[in-house]
Chain A
């Protein structure tokens, strides 16, 4: 089945931009979703269809997708952004969703 590869961790200083990648074979041809999961909480959708922000998600959260890499970017990082982030796509070969392994964002 389709494999999504994320770095286990990303660390950034407050106020800077965090970039979390999600790698997959020709992922640019797929629609990518991103979820944020804070400790002890359920996942929250933060980006759908590569670039769209659901209602209530701040503009400093953005997504891009091209070639073999999709990227979630968070500008002006705040302590409250510290969480695990997961990418997700539809795997057409197995005909179901798949998640990446997740990236822990640490705000230094």
Chain B
């Protein structure tokens, strides 16, 4: 059974930094693209970032480019999202999710339960 568990969410001051972690199990981790998707309070979904199966390919939403960095450790089955320069508009529930295949395109069939990031002074 696929399991995805996020951690690292916290309350942080504007301008601060935070690293989110995502532990994955139940599948061959290095066969799949991994994503971060966020959901603003009471609002819709916004895709944030993805990383290819081997870490060589990354993509970012314009809203986080230059501030967030995605990485993965295939030996430990972890994905990370390093967030810097946080502002109040980054306040959201952050989901880690597994892609459909090694391709960076396609659907996102498995999601964790999310970790909450609150940016507030």
Which residues does A use to contact B, with CB under 8 Å?
1, 31, 33, 35, 37, 42-45, 48-49, 54, 84, 86, 88, 90, 94-102
Contact = CB atoms under 8 A, between A and B. Distances in A.
Name the 3 nearest CB pairs between A and B, nearest first.
A48-B107, A102-B44, A42-B111
Given A48-B100, A48-B107, A86 B45 contact: yes
Contact of A43 (B46, B50, B59, B111): B111
Interface string B89-119: 0000001000010000111110111100000
A45 B114 contact: no
Q: Please classify the interface of chain A as helix (H, G, I), strand (E, B), loop, or mixed, using the class held by over half of its residues.
A: strand
Contacts of A97: 35, 47, 50, 108
B62 interface: yes
A45 B107 contact: yes
Given A43-B111, A48-B109, 6 more contacts: A35-B45, A84-B44, A97-B35, A98-B47, A99-B44, A99-B45
Interface residues of B, number: 22
B10 interface: no
Interface of B: 35, 37, 44-47, 50, 59-62, 95, 100, 105-109, 111-114
Contacts of A42: 95, 111-114
B62 to A, nearest CB: 7
Nearest to B59: A96
Nearest to A55: B109
Nearest to A48: B107
Contacts of B44: 84, 86, 99-102
